[in-house]
């Protein structure tokens, strides 16, 4: 009964929030949003590929690939220090995390 | 018993490893708070897996360190760049940034740091004095009272956390719905869609990481085009805090310090009211109470920084009161800390003071030690912290996403939990875009199981619903729940009326 009540209330409120004129949500700008902020869905896609890769390629390799891809996606102006920092991070961070989790927290990563 | 608990807690907190943990927590919290777009809540959820290898006191000490450091860390970017490091440092900018632009950044930072420390200490003192009284009172609570209290907390959060009551209630109901996934208290399976991974329900931490870390990171990706911060290579300003001047400022603002700390502590006790509300109220009170130069508020008045920073740090002490006495987290950070306690087999709420006196006292002491660490870390590392605010988001976002993945995996050694993080990251991002507050959703998720279990216990002990209204404390909470909904509806009605009034006058 309680579950039904919760579900019913949630459904009513959800519908009401979209139907109410003063609270109407417009998705008209979705195209523009995706054109301007295409990096957001691209990052979600990359994250999904990364999670899928974790089980196949292991934590260290898939994290390196994800980090390099992520930096390539987000860095807009490359300079020598930024390039060095991103390459160093992409290499060192996965190894460091792997070491900390396996040796300090006793958790074996994929 | 409390005195013995305090001595034992002092021994635990004073252990070198715990002190080091608090120091690391404060450092991490300050950095998370200092970088605009990254919140200490994010740091808290990411630090959660690291508490697995710690005892409850040490794990909680790490979380408290991050929490206290994070509340204070936002002032650095706010004062130096005019960009709030955290939402709670928005008001600090009003006077901190003009003072920095007028050539006194070190004085502004010094006032901010001193105010943060004093606010935290006053909040901790109130927690120490009031906590045990409420703790003793809650021993009278049965399942009826706890159910009604949780219901009241959910309605309060839904009403307080956003402009739209309806959206707050939707979020709370969604949280409750998510909490029902898995095995019901009566033993049957619910909403698992024949997926064995869902049989045990969704762990709160991957959901929290998704909603609060990944969604915020996606917002950062979206806003990366608008990143107006100067690049990291420009060098940090040389900053030396003028201690004497700061002490004079603080002495001059002593009434403001006390008033703002009390406002912060009180607001902190209200679930999801947040440090931002405390800041605005304290700032407004301080400006109205200023007799000599109120016109300088907003132009670099020390009182503005004092009001904002004391109140947003005093919130910490207040927020712990409902968490440890009633088992109701005052904010999202408290919800994460509650999760850490539950992971160690400790249930916050009525009876905690009697069952875990050492742990409760270690919370007070950890807050005090963390406040002192804030003073040391922010004073000594100010030039470094000023540089940290300039680290490019493009470098940070992918690194933190890797941390979210590894942190959620470490909970149960399941890749499924990382998928939960991704899914709730997307859901959180969409909800943020639709202006649906995330706080009520988390509270619904965390408190859903308690709500259901206590209702079932109450009905097992007495099979009539009338007991909920015949027991005075339970009835009080139910009336408050109805009252909070009524008040929110009234507020919404008044806001609509005010908004439509000018339109009507234009039409006439």
Digit-coded pLDDT (tens) for B214-231: 988 898 888 766 565 555
Q: What backbone phi and psi angles, to 5 degrees, belong to B182?
A: 110, -155
Mean pLDDT value across residues B376-393: 82
CA angle B431, B90, B131 (to 5 degrees): 85
Domain contains A7: no
Q: From the candidates B406, B428, B436, B498, which should be mutated to test the interface with A, based on the most A CB atoms within 10 A? A: B406
Mean pLDDT value across residues B438-444: 83
Residue A103 has pLDDT above 70, yes or no: yes
Q: How many domains does chain A have?
A: 1
Size of interface A-B (CB pairs under 8 A): 130
Domain contains A19: no
Enumerate the residues of chain B whose CB falls inside 8 A of the CB of residue A106: 53
Enumerate the residues of chain B whose CB falls inside 8 A of the CB of residue A54: 405, 409, 415, 418
Q: What is the pLDDT of residue B23?
A: 95
Give the chain A residue whose CA is nearest to the CA of B53.
Answer: A105
Q: What backbone phi and psi angles, to 5 degrees, belong to B468?
A: -65, -30
Domain contains A8: no
Question: Exposed, middle or buried: residue B20 (CB in 10 Å: 0-12, 13-18, 19+)?
Answer: middle
Domain contains A33: yes
The three state secondary structure string of B137-179 is: HHHHCCHHHHHHHHHHHHHHHHHHCCCCHHHHHHHHHHHHHHH
Q: Confidence class of residue B234 from pLDDT cuts 50, 70 and 90?
A: very low
pLDDT digits (tens, 9 = 90+) for B4-49: 678 888 888 899 999 999 999 999 999 888 887 777 888 888 888 7
Domain contains A109: no
| Residue A31 lies in domain | 26-104
Contact B76, B97 (CB under 8 A): no
Domain contains A95: yes
Enumerate the residues of chain B whose CB falls inside 8 A of the CB of residue A85: 395
Asked if B492 is an interface residue toward chain A (Cβ–Cβ < 8 A), one would say: no
Give the chain A residue whose CA is nearest to the CA of B191.
Answer: A3
3-state secondary structure of B384: helix
- Least confident residue range of B223-232, B263-272, B278-287, B413-422: B223-232
A17·B425 Cβ contact <8 A: no
Q: What is the pLDDT of residue A23?
A: 47
Residue B508 has pLDDT above 50, yes or no: no
d(CA B421, CA B429): 12
* Residue percentage of chain B with pLDDT more than 70: 92
Q: What is the pLDDT of residue A90?
A: 92
Asked if B189 is an interface residue toward chain A (Cβ–Cβ < 8 A), one would say: no
Q: What is the pLDDT of residue B7?
A: 86
Q: Which of B:44-103 have CB within 8 Å of A?
A: 49-50, 52-53
Q: Say if the ipTM goes beyond 0.90.
A: no
Give the chain A residue whose CA is nearest to the CA of B214.
Answer: A44
Enumerate the residues of chain B whose CB falls inside 8 A of the CB of residue A13: 166, 169-170, 173
**Mean pLDDT of all residues in chain B?**
84
pLDDT digits (tens, 9 = 90+) for B157-169: 776 665 677 888 8
Highest mean pLDDT range out of A31-40, A41-50, B134-143?
A41-50
Q: Confidence class of residue B429 from pLDDT cuts 50, 70 and 90?
A: very high
Enumerate the residues of chain A whose CB falls inside 8 A of the CB of residue B406: 59, 63, 97, 101, 109
Q: Confidence class of residue A13 from pLDDT cuts 50, 70 and 90?
A: low
* Residue percentage of chain A with pLDDT more than 70: 74
Domain contains A9: no
Q: Confidence class of residue B272 from pLDDT cuts 50, 70 and 90?
A: low
Residue B505 has pLDDT above 70, yes or no: no
Domain contains A16: no
């Amino acid at each position: 009964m309680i579950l039904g009540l919760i579900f019913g209330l949630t459904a009513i409120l959800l519908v009401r929030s979209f139907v109410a004129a003063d609270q109407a949500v417009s998705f008209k700008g979705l195209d523009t949003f995706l054109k301007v902020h295409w990096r957001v869905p691209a990052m979600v896609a990359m994250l999904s590929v990364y999670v899928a890769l974790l089980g196949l390629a292991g934590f260290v390799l898939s994290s390196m690939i994800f980090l390099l891809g992520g930096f390539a996606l987000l860095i807009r102006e490359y300079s020598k220090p930024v390039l060095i920092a991103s390459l160093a991070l992409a290499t060192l961070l996965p190894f460091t995390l792997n070491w900390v989790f396996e040796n300090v927290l006793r958790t074996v990563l994929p | 018993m409390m005195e013995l608990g305090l001595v034992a807690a002092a021994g635990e907190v004073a252990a070198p490893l715990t002190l080091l943990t608090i120091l690391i927590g404060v450092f991490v919290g300050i950095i998370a708070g200092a970088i605009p777009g990254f919140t200490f809540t994010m740091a808290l959820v990411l630090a959660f897996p690291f508490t697995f290898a710690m005892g409850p006191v040490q794990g909680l000490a790490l979380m408290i360190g991050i929490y206290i450091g994070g509340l204070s860390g936002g002032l650095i970017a706010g004062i130096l760049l005019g960009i709030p490091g955290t939402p709670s440092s928005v008001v600090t900018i009003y006077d901190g940034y003009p003072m920095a632009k007028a050539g006194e950044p070190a004085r502004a930072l010094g006032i901010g740091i001193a105010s943060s420390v004093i606010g935290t200490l006053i909040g901790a003192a109130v927690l120490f004095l009031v906590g045990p009284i409420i703790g003793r009172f809650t021993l009278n609570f049965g399942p009826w009272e706890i159910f009604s209290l949780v219901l009241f907390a959910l309605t309060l959060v839904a009403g307080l956390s956003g402009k739209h009551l309806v959206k707050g209630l939707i979020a709370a109901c969604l949280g409750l719905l998510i909490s029902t996934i898995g095995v019901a208290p009566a033993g049957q399976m619910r909403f698992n869609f024949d997926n064995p991974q869902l049989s045990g329900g969704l762990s709160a931490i991957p959901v929290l990481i998704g909603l609060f870390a990944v969604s915020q990171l996606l917002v950062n990706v979206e806003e990366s085009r608008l990143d107006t911060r100067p690049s990291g290579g420009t060098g940090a300003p040389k900053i030396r805090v003028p201690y004497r001047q700061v002490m004079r400022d603080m002495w001059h603002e002593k009434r403001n310090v006390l008033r703002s700390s009390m406002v912060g502590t009180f607001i902190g006790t209200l679930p999801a009211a947040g440090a931002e509300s405390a800041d605005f109220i304290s700032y407004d009170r301080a400006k109205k109470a200023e007799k000599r130069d109120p016109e300088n508020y907003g132009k670099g008045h020390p009182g503005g920084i004092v009001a904002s920073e004391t109140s947003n740090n005093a919130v910490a002490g207040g927020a712990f009161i409902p968490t440890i006495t009633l088992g109701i987290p005052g904010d999202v950070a408290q919800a994460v800390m509650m999760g850490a306690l539950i992971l160690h087999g400790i249930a916050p709420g009525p009876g905690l003071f009697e069952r875990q006196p050492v742990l409760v006292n270690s919370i007070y002491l950890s807050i005090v030690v963390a406040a002192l660490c804030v003073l040391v870390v922010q004073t000594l590392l100010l030039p470094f912290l000023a540089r940290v605010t300039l680290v490019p988001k493009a470098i940070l976002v992918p690194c933190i996403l890797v941390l979210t993945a590894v942190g959620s995996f470490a909970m149960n050694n399941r890749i499924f939990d990382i998928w939960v993080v991704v899914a709730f990251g997307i859901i959180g991002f969409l909800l943020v875009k639709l202006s649906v507050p995330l706080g009520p959703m988390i509270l619904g998720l965390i408190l859903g199981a308690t709500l259901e279990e206590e209702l079932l216990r109450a009905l097992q002990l007495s099979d009539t619903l009338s007991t909920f209204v015949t027991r005075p404390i339970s009835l009080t909470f139910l009336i408050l729940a109805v009252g909070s909904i009524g008040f929110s509806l009234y507020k919404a009605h008044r806001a609509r009326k005010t908004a439509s009034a000018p339109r009507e006058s234009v039409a006439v």
